[in-house]
């Protein structure tokens, strides 16, 4: 199987794997069978494999050019990736009762929300920036559909999580709504981690993906 058939199959598997967390009954059965750690490790491995297949299938799909490549497109992608790395570094593991990827949510201070003052869903925001930033330098149909789909997936996820969290949190949703400020995002280690992540991804890009980005 090759060409558009493989690409369609890869998309179907990718969407199917990401439908599991949205079905509480199925997820509960998997957790009961595998344990919480087993489910987490297994689901992560399957998700990464599905993503790798989809990216590979996009590269093997028939090339249908939509626009030509230009040097400025790489600068756009690098800027989007720098912002995505910063948002991810500031958000992952920080208190955030509104989304996933947070920790110590009982310590969340709405007056000093950190990156949550900019976006309630920093992980999804970083994913969306990564995807949107890769559209410009990949102007063929398969990659535009893939990266555009990832960006749309991130935006859709934000809305779905907002609705679910609003139901679960009740009055706390309004009580804990963060101020529009980045106070609390000044941890220098997280800013350094953002720079290290950007540099590591840039160095690994030609090894894993192919094109040189620096």
Say yes or no: 188 and 86 in one domain: yes
Say yes or no: 132 and 45 in one domain: no
Task: Please compute the mean of the pLDDT values over residues 147-158 and round it to a whole number.
Answer: 94
Tell me the per-residue pLDDT of 107-134, one tens digit each, with 9 for 90 and over. 999 999 999 999 999 999 999 999 999 9
Say yes or no: 4 and 44 in one domain: yes
Distances in Å between the Cα of 1 and the Cα atoms of 6, 24, 39, 57, 105 are: 6, 33, 30, 10, 46
Say yes or no: 48 and 70 in one domain: no
| Count of the separate structural domains present in the chain | 2
Residue finishing a domain among 42, 62, 82: 62
Mean pLDDT of all residues belonging to the chain = 89
What count of residues does the chain have?
Answer: 214
Tell me the per-residue pLDDT of 41-82, one tens digit each, with 9 for 90 and over. 888 888 889 999 999 999 999 999 999 999 999 999 999 999
Say yes or no: 45 and 144 in one domain: no
Say yes or no: 98 and 200 in one domain: yes
Say yes or no: 46 and 85 in one domain: no
Say yes or no: 110 and 191 in one domain: yes
| pLDDT given for residue 166 in this prediction | 92
Tell me the per-residue pLDDT of 153-203, one tens digit each, with 9 for 90 and over. 999 999 989 998 999 999 999 999 988 988 988 889 999 999 999 999 988
- The model's pTM: 0.87
CB atoms within 10 A of CB 15: 13
Phi, psi for residue 152 in degrees, rounded to 5: -65, -40
Residue 85 to residue 157: CA distance in whole angstroms: 19
CB atoms within 10 A of CB 168: 10
Say yes or no: 35 and 104 in one domain: no
Angle, CA of 114, 116 and 118, to the nearest 5°: 95
Tell me the per-residue pLDDT of 6-28, one tens digit each, with 9 for 90 and over. 999 999 999 888 877 767 777 77
Say yes or no: 83 and 152 in one domain: yes
**pLDDT surpasses 90 at 100:** no
Residue 133 to residue 73: CA distance in whole angstroms: 9
Range of the domain at 90: 65-214
Say yes or no: 55 and 72 in one domain: no
| pLDDT given for residue 199 in this prediction | 93
């Amino acid at each position: 199987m090759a060409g558009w058939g493989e690409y369609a199959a890869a998309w179907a598997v990718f969407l199917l794997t990401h439908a599991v967390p949205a079905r509480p009954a199925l997820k509960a059965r998997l957790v009961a069978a595998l344990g919480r750690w087993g489910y987490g490790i297994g689901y992560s491995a399957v998700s990464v494999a599905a993503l790798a297949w989809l990216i590979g299938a996009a590269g093997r799909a028939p090339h249908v050019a939509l626009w030509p490549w230009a040097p400025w497109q790489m600068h756009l992608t690098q800027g989007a990736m720098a912002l995505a790395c910063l948002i991810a570094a500031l958000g992952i593991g920080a208190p955030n009762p509104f989304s996933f990827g947070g920790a110590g949510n009982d310590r969340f201070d709405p007056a000093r929300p950190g990156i949550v003052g900019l976006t309630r869903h920093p992980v999804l925001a970083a994913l969306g920036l990564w995807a949107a930033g890769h559209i410009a330098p990949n102007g063929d149909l398969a990659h535009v559909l893939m990266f555009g789909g990832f960006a749309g997936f991130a935006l859709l996820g934000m809305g779905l999580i907002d609705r679910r969290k609003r139901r679960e949190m009740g009055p706390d949703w309004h009580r804990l709504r963060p101020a529009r400020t980045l106070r609390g995002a000044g941890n220098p280690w997280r800013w350094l981690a953002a720079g290290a992540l950007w540099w590591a991804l840039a160095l690994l890009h030609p090894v894993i993906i192919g094109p040189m980005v620096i």
